[in-house]
Amino acid sequence: MALPHLQQPSFLLASLKADCVNKPFAQRCHDLETVIEDFPAKELHAIFPWLVESIFGSLDGIIVGWNLRSLQGRTHPTEYAIALDFLDPSGPMMKLVYKLQAEEYRYDFPVSYLPGPVKASIHERVLPECSLYHNKVQFPPSGGLGLNLALNPFEYYMFYFAISLITQRNTPITHHVSTSNSAYFILVDAYLKWFLPTEGSVLPPPSSNPGGTIPSPAPRSPSVPFTSYGMHHTSLLKRHIAHQPSVNADPASQEIWRSETMLQIFVEMWLHHYSLDMYQKMQSPHVKLEVLHYRLSISSKHHSSPAQSGYQALHAYQESFKPTEEHVLVVRLLVKHLHAFTNSLKPEPISPSAHSHTASPLEEFKRVVIPRFVQQKLYIFLQHCFGHWPLDASFRAVLEMWLSYLQPWRYAPEKPLQSADPQPRSVAEKWAPFVQENLLMYTKLFVGFLNRALRTDLVSPKNALMVFRVAKVLAQPNLSEMIQKGEQLFLEPDLVIPHRQHRIFMTPTLGGTFFSSWPPAITDASFKVKSHIYSLEGQDFQYKQMFGTEIRNLVLRLAQLICQAQQTAKSISDHSAETLASKSFLSWFRFGPSEMNGSYTGNDLDEIGQENIKKTDEYLEKALEYLCQIFRLSEAQLTQMMMNCGTAQDENGKKQLPDSIESEDGLILTPLGRYQIINGLRRFEIAYQGDTELQPIRSYENATLVRLLFQLSSAINQRFAEQMDNLCSREDFIGSFCRYHLINPFLAERTRHSPMLKHRARHIQRPKISLRFLASYRTLLSLFMIFFIASQFCIGPLACTFLILLAYLLYAVVMTFFTERWKPHRH
């Protein structure tokens, strides 16, 4: 990866490569530390690219490196501690970086491994607005293939560190890994705290020369002039370079250039991912015009355009890019630290002149770090996740990252006082500018969450928890009023303030360095809100008010689904309790396996248990309460919704059946019923409704006995079918007694509430004898135990059989009287 004229054979490099095979990890790190201390920068320069790749893995993911994402103290405590010490911000590796930085070496990083939008932009001959790429694009003499970035050692190290989160995601993991305890996560946290300190200033790097300092990187001219991209018009790249200031001109840049560089790299590698449509929309009109001219000049030469390859690369990239849960958790760590970093800003002095003379570069950096470097790309990253993440519980990671960004007050230095009052604290008025200048983060992403929530099964405790979390955050006192105020400022007509007539809402230049020219401060709150929205969504964006009629109707739909989910959870809870209550010691000895005639409800909650069903109900109840507070839903509306949900109940008390109509062929689903089933709102009971005699032979049955008893039962049923029909049709006790044994009323009730064809149901419900229960190992074991216990009391087999039949006869007589209260059991 080093520059070509420096790629010479190195004895030191060969020796270190051999050590990787022959020496243990601890010894290798100790030797590396010694090499870094003893060897000059010229020798270390040759091993630096190899060392970085051996630690973080190759860009194509083939070389795993130290596998920091899977390295944990719980499983590998020695390697974990050594790796953290070696890569610490003040450790040997960073000393090597600063040693090389002093000599101003450069290393090539291939453009092909950059995020899709950046790669497509460079292929379009348009330099990304982020200053990280300015003056760094290097072109080979042959032309537009094999583009590279010429990076200084600090940039090169941080590029590899950040992008390893993306390139190494397919590395096989042999054990369960907790992301927050991995060496990579700990290092991200350490770098953030070191280079973006919430207290004090950034510590200066160690210098190899006594009394000297490590220079900040100076701008470099590209190896190929950018004017060659456009034949008849000035290249945008050249315009960027012409306005790029020299950071060496300002001594204050020494304090924060590493902080700014690290943050830009993290944001570019982790957040700069979006679709082709978004890429085109975000381009400014000047960029679009230049790209159009460039395409026309290329097409006139009748050969393939690198711009076309850029678009094709972005098409393929947006299909393949899928953020992982680990990726999102690392981004959330970045968001939380940036809030803490920004909130550590000292209060502004009253006198503006005093402020201009006393504010340090780090303090100024804190003031603009989120809106200038993070806001736009984080918003687009969240939009991508909201639109493409699977509809499962893993979305919780994305949700918590979003909620962390929405609540900067949680990371303020002044901690809220603990009080006995259960009500949440009101959001202070000083946070109103943040809410207004991040309005789309609150409103449009909330609409995105609503659309997801309406398509999820809210009976699941994890999904219910996510709805509860969002509702609880947005229901904090004074927050909804701030959001409404922001919407009012956006909708305020421009004619109200005459001097705003000739303003143009321009996309803010988010890419210049911290020391580049700043636009004049905007004091008008309405203009700030409009600039924020138009910069993220474009001039033609049609804003939907969060508290408008359309979104309010979505909230009402969600509230109705919450009510239905509560009813579903209650019915499942009642069914589970009823099933448990019906199980008794005596039922274990009944002569028929309950598995044959029972049903499976088909819901997770049966396996989760009563405790989690209770949690689901609590989450949904509180979420509904918070939604009512946010959108001021009246009690009358809630009562009507609860009544509508309660009407899903027939004369026998069966709740939550899908909406359907009864016909000659059974139940037929309506469009509403199909919607309810698809979204998990209601369901039919999933149970075997065919002839129980024809079910597959179970593992707890004797196959030979099942076949023999089936032939015997079939012969009896065929021979005495008419007599059994006559007996079951009687209205006296004999008829009830026969129906209890020859017909399963529970099965008849189930088929009545299913889409099963009626003529088939009538065929299954005909009276018949089933002897299959005698083939069950459980039944055979029960009989053996009874006979064995009876033999201990000197009771012979015939007498024991007579007693069993007599006891069951008494039991059957009692059960016949209570068939309406107890679930009947069929033999």
State the DSSP string of 670-706. Answer: -HHHHHHHHTTSS---B---S-GGGSPPPTTB-HHHH
Distance (Å, whole) CA 524 – CA 118: 33
What was the pLDDT predicted at 358?
60
Using pLDDT thresholds of 50, 70 and 90, give the confidence band for residue 497.
Answer: very low
Nearest Cα to Cα of residue 395 among 335, 329, 338, 472: 329
Using pLDDT thresholds of 50, 70 and 90, give the confidence band for residue 495.
Answer: very low
Using pLDDT thresholds of 50, 70 and 90, give the confidence band for residue 85.
Answer: very high
Average pLDDT score, the chain = 76
Distance (Å, whole) CA 825 – CA 597: 9
What was the pLDDT predicted at 233?
33
pLDDT mean over 352-357? 49
Collect contacts of 751-754 with beta carbons under 8 A, ≥24 apart: 751/689, 753/650, 753/654, 753/657, 753/667, 753/684, 753/685, 754/666, 754/667, 754/684, 754/685, 754/689
- Say whether pLDDT at 281 is over 70: no
Distance (Å, whole) CA 482 – CA 718: 78
| pLDDT, greater one: 600 or 691 | 691
Distance (Å, whole) CA 602 – CA 264: 49
What was the pLDDT predicted at 689?
64
> In this structure, are residues 110 and 148 in contact, taking their beta carbons and an 8 Å threshold?
yes
Nearest Cα to Cα of residue 100 among 55, 36, 153: 153
Find where tokens 């009989």 sit. Answer: 783
pLDDT mean over 354-360? 57
- Look at residue 593 and give its three-state secondary structure: coil
Distance (Å, whole) CA 432 – CA 437: 9
- Say whether pLDDT at 262 is over 90: yes
What was the pLDDT predicted at 410?
93
Q: Which helix (H) or strand (E) holds 253?
A: helix 253-271
Sign of CA dihedral 368, 369, 373, 374: negative
> In this structure, are residues 370 and 337 in contact, taking their beta carbons and an 8 Å threshold?
no
Residue pLDDT, tens place only, 654-678: 456 777 777 766 778 877 777 667 7
pLDDT mean over 726-747? 77
Q: Which residue type occupies 93?
A: M
- Say whether pLDDT at 391 is over 80: yes
Find where tokens 């306005």 sit. Answer: 243
Using pLDDT thresholds of 50, 70 and 90, give the confidence band for residue 698.
Answer: confident
Sign of CA dihedral 43, 45, 50, 56: positive
Nearest Cα to Cα of residue 131 among 287, 265, 16: 265
Nearest Cα to Cα of residue 137 among 200, 226, 68: 226
- Say whether pLDDT at 332 is over 90: yes
> In this structure, are residues 694 and 688 in contact, taking their beta carbons and an 8 Å threshold?
no
Nearest Cα to Cα of residue 346 among 367, 370, 371, 327: 367
Residue 47 phi, psi dihedral angles, 5° rounding: -95, -10
> In this structure, are residues 462 and 396 in contact, taking their beta carbons and an 8 Å threshold?
yes
Lowest mean pLDDT among 605-619, 621-635, 638-652: 638-652
Using pLDDT thresholds of 50, 70 and 90, give the confidence band for residue 508.
Answer: very low
pLDDT mean over 399-419? 83
Nearest Cα to Cα of residue 587 among 779, 769, 738: 779
Residues in the chain, overall count = 827
Q: Which two tokens stand for residue 620?
A: 């949904």
Residue pLDDT, tens place only, 223-247: 433 333 333 333 333 333 333 334 4
Distance (Å, whole) CA 715 – CA 769: 10
What was the pLDDT predicted at 521?
41
What was the pLDDT predicted at 574?
67
SS (H, E, C) 589-633: HCCCCHHHHCCECCCCHHHHCHHHHHHHHHHHHHHHHHHHHHHCC
Rg (CA), the chain: 36
SS (H, E, C) 120-145: HHHHCCCCCCCHHHCCCEECCCCCCC
Nearest Cα to Cα of residue 443 among 390, 408, 472, 402: 402
Lowest mean pLDDT among 18-27, 89-98, 120-129, 369-378: 120-129
Using pLDDT thresholds of 50, 70 and 90, give the confidence band for residue 407.
Answer: very high
Find where tokens 């009690």 sit. Answer: 635
- Say whether pLDDT at 29 is over 60: yes
Neighbours of 492 (CB within 10 A): 17
Ranked by mean pLDDT, the top range of 271-275, 496-500, 553-557 is 553-557
792-827 per-residue burial string, b: 16 or more CB within 10 A, e: under 16 = eeebeeeebeeebeeeeeeeeeebbeebeeebbbbb
Residue pLDDT, tens place only, 779-815: 899 888 998 898 888 888 888 888 888 988 888 888 8
Nearest Cα to Cα of residue 207 among 103, 98, 97: 98
Sign of CA dihedral 266, 267, 270, 273: negative
pLDDT mean over 493-519? 45
In eight-state DSSP terms, residue 246 is P
Q: From start to end of 92-206, where are the E strands?
A: 107-110, 137-138, 148-151
Spell out the domain ranges in the chain: 430-495+522-579+610-646, 703-740+768-822
